Chains A and B, each alone.
Chain A
Amino acid sequence: MADERRLIITPDVDEAIRRHGRETYPHECCGALVGTAGAVTGTVALPNTTEEGPRRRFLVRPSDYRDAEGRATEIGGELLGFYHSHPDHPARPSQYDLDHAWPTFAYIIVSVMNGAAGDMTVWYLKHDRSTFEEGSLEHGKNSHSDAAQAVHGQAGRG
C-alpha cells in the first residue's frame, strides 16, 4: 500500500496550486486534483463556497464535485483528491480538515504566508478516520498531452 502514500505532481500543477493560493490570499483556495495512477497531471480550480468565512474555511459544492469527477472521466483519468491553501498557517491539516476528509483522496495543502506560497504537503486519511498520514510529494515532468492541458486550462476559475 506504500504507493498510496506517494503523489507525483508536475511542475505545472505545482505552480497552478501556488498561483491559486496567492490569488485568493488572504482567503483559502481549493481545487481538484486530476490524473492517473498516483500522478497528478491537472488541476481544476473550484469556487470556495463556504459560508463560514473563506479566510479559514473552504467548501466544495456537490455540483462542483460532480463536475470535477466528470471532467476526470472525460480525459480518461480519475479524481485523485483536492488541494487547498492555509493562509498564514503551516501546511498541516487542521482538526476541521480531518473531520471532513474522505478516504483514499490525496489532500494537498499549501501554506501561503503573507501572500507568498511556501510549503506544500500531501496527506491521506487513515482508514479508521483517526488521523491523517503524511504522504510524499514528488515532482515529475510536465505532461503535454491534450487532455492534461484541457483540464489545466480550467485553473483560475475560482
Chain B
Amino acid sequence: MAKILIPTPLRPYTDKQDAVDASGATVAELLADLTRKHSGLKAHLYNEQGKLRSFVNVYVNDEDIRYLQKEQTPVNAGDTVSIIPSVAGGAPTVADVATPELTNDEIKRYSRHLIMPEVGVEGQRKLKAGKVLCIGAGGLGSPVAMYLAAAGVGTLGIVDFDVVDFSNLQRQILHGTPDVGRSKLASAKDRLQALNPNVNVVTYEMAISSENALKLFEPYDVIVDGTDNFPTRYLVNDACVLTGKPNAYGSIFRFEGQASVFATKEGPCYRCLYPEPPPPGLVPSCAEGGVLGVLPGIIGVIQATETIKLILGVGEPLIGRFLIFDALRMKFRELKLRKDPDCPVCGTHPTVTQLIDYEQFCGVRPAAPEPATVNTATEITSVDLKQRLDRGDKLTIVDVREPNEYQINRIPGSQLIPLGDVPKRVDELDPNEEIVVHCKMGGRSAKAADFLRSVGFKKVLNLKGGILDWIDKVDPTQPKY
C-alpha cells in the first residue's frame, strides 16, 4: 500500500482528497488501482491509446519515474507517489489555425506518427494543413517529395520544366524507366498520388524566375531548394527572405552534400554564407562532375526532415548550422553560421529589396539560340569531322574529358588528355599540326582550344556539341551519358 498525492485539479475526481491510498507493486499497477477506485481520473491521466499523457508527471519519493524504470518503477509499502501536472499551452501556430480533421483512413495510415507525443493528432493535422513547395523534381526533389507525401503533408507544390532522361534514373527515384521522355511533373504526380492519394500535388511546369517567384511562394509555408545551379539558388534564397518563408536547402556534388535551413527570421540566409556566387565555370555541375546516386537520397531526406520539423514546431531546426556530409568518409561536419548584419538581402540595411537578374548576378547568360553557322576558323561539326577523317586528312583528335568518361565512349583514334593536364602535357602535341579538341558537350574543349592557341598552336578546332553530337550525327551505336 502506497500513498498517492493528488494535484489540485484532479481532486474533484477523488472526493476532494489530496492523498489516496492504492496498492500495487509498480507505478503502473498503482495507477491502475487508483483509476479503478476513481474512474473519473482516467481520461485526464491517459490518452486515447492508454498511455500516460505527456504532461502527466509521476514521481516516486521525489524521483521522476522517467529517470527510474518509467511505469515499471517498483513501489514499496510506505512510498509516496506524486502525480504532478506540467502545465503547457500556447498561442495557435500558423498551421493550427483551423487544422483539418483526420479521416479514419488517415488515422490508420499515420498511426506510427500519431503514437509519438511529438507528432500526435495535433502534429499530423498540422502536416495535413502544411503547404510545401519543392523547387525541382530531380535528385533532391525526388526523396523530398516522396517522404513529404508519405508523411502526410497536405499540399505539395512542385516546380520543374524538364523531361525524364535515362541519365536521371540512377538517382531521381520519383521517375521510372517507363517515364523516360515524359514530363518530370506528370511522372512525379503519378508516383506521389500512388504513394498517398490524400496529398494535393500542385504542379508548375515552368522555370522559376524573378518575375514569378514571389507569387509562386506566397501560398506555401516552407520552400525546399532542390536546384542544381547558382542563379536559381540565389533567386530561391532572396525570394524566401523577401516573402519570409524558410528555405530547406540542400546541394550535392560527387560524394559530398550540404544542408541547412536558411531565411528564417532568427537565422542566416544563403547570402550570409556566400555573399557572391563563384565565378562561372569554377564549380562544375552534376552533369559535368557526376554525383553518387544515393547522395541526393541522404541530403533530400535531411531537407524533408527539417521541413517536417518546421511544420510541427518540434526539435532543433538546422538554422544557423551548416551540415556537410562526406559519403566516402561517411562523416558529417557541422559549421556554425551567423546572420550577417551587413547581408545585402537579410541584413539590417538590405540593398536587395526586390528580385534581380540572377543570370547576370552569377555571370552566366541563358543559353543563346544555336547559331546556324559554324565559325570555321575555330569550330568543326561532327559531320565535317567525319568527312575529313574519311578523306584521310591528317588530324590529331584530342579528347579533354576525364579517363572514366573516355571509357564510356570515344571517337576512334582520339588521344586522351584531360583538360587539367593539357598545360603540362602540351609537348605531346605538334603546334604545326591541325588539332581537333572535344569533350562531352563542347564547353571544356573550348577552354582547351583557347589555351592551345595562346601557346602558339596554328590551327585548333573545337568539335561543336562534343561527343554527344558525334554520337547523334555520326555514330549512334555508341552509348551516351
Contact = CB atoms under 8 A, between A and B. Distances in A.
B90 A104 contact: no
A84 interface: yes
B86 A62 contact: yes
A57 B84 contact: no
Contacts of A99: 120, 122
A81 B88 CA distance: 12
A56 B91 contact: yes
Interface stretch (B6-14, B224-232, B332-340): B6-14
B85 interface: yes
A16 B57 CA distance: 29
B89 A101 contact: yes
Contact of B84 (A62, A87, A94, A96): A62
Contact of A100 (B55, B64, B99, B125): B55
B contacts with A: majority SS: mixed
A42 interface: no
B55 to A, nearest CB: 5
Given A96-B90, A101-B89, A62 B9 contact: no
Contacts of A155: none
A103 B88 CA distance: 13
Contacts of B352: none
Nearest to B85: A102
B90 A94 contact: yes
Contacts of B40: 127
Interface string B57-74: 101000010000000000
A97 B336 CA distance: 34
Contacts of B125: 95
Contact of A69 (B7, B13, B57): B7
Given A100-B89, A103-B10, A107-B89, A66 B96 contact: no
Given A53-B313, A69-B8, A128-B43, A60 B86 contact: yes
B102 interface: no
B93 A93 contact: no
A132 to B, nearest CB: 11
Contacts of B57: 62
B44 interface: yes
B91 A59 contact: no
A58 B9 contact: no
A86 B90 CA distance: 7
A28 to B, nearest CB: 6
Interface in B70-103: 82, 84-93, 96, 99
Interface size class of B (residues with CB under 8 A): 20 to 34
Given A62-B64, A94-B96, A95-B96, A103 B9 contact: yes
Given A53-B313, A56-B313, A102-B44, A95 B84 contact: no
Given A53-B313, A62-B84, A95-B96, A103 B44 contact: yes
B107 interface: no
A84 B91 CA distance: 9
Contacts of A103: 9-10, 12-13, 44
A52 interface: yes
B92 A79 contact: no
B89 A97 contact: yes
Contacts of B313: 52-53, 56-57
A96 B92 contact: yes
Nearest to B82: A66
A82 B87 contact: yes
B91 A89 contact: yes
Given A53-B313, A56-B313, A128-B43, A95 B88 contact: no
Contacts of B44: 102-103, 129
B96 A59 contact: no
Given A96-B122, A129-B44, A87 B91 contact: yes
Contact of A86 (B9, B10, B84, B91): B91
A154 interface: no
A103 to B, nearest CB: 5
Contact of B92 (A60, A69, A89, A101): A89
A5 B99 CA distance: 28
A14 B67 CA distance: 39
A124 to B, nearest CB: 10
A93 B92 CA distance: 8
A79 B8 contact: yes
A102 B87 contact: yes
Interface string A29-72: 01000000000000000000010110011111110011001001
Nearest to B92: A94
B206 interface: no
A94 B91 CA distance: 6
Point out which of B11, B89, B93 has the most chain A C-beta atoms below 10 A from its C-beta.
B89
9 contacts: A30-B89, A50-B90, A52-B90, A58-B89, A59-B87, A62-B84, A65-B84, A89-B92, A100-B88
Closest 5 pairs (CB-CB, A-B): A57-B90, A102-B9, A94-B92, A97-B89, A89-B91
Interface of A: 28, 30, 50, 52-53, 56-62, 65-66, 69, 72, 78-79, 82, 84, 86-89, 93-97, 99-105, 107, 127-129
Given A60-B86, A62-B59, A65-B7, 14 more contacts: A30-B89, A56-B91, A56-B93, A59-B87, A62-B57, A62-B86, A66-B84, A69-B7, A94-B90, A95-B99, A102-B44, A103-B13, A104-B8, A107-B89
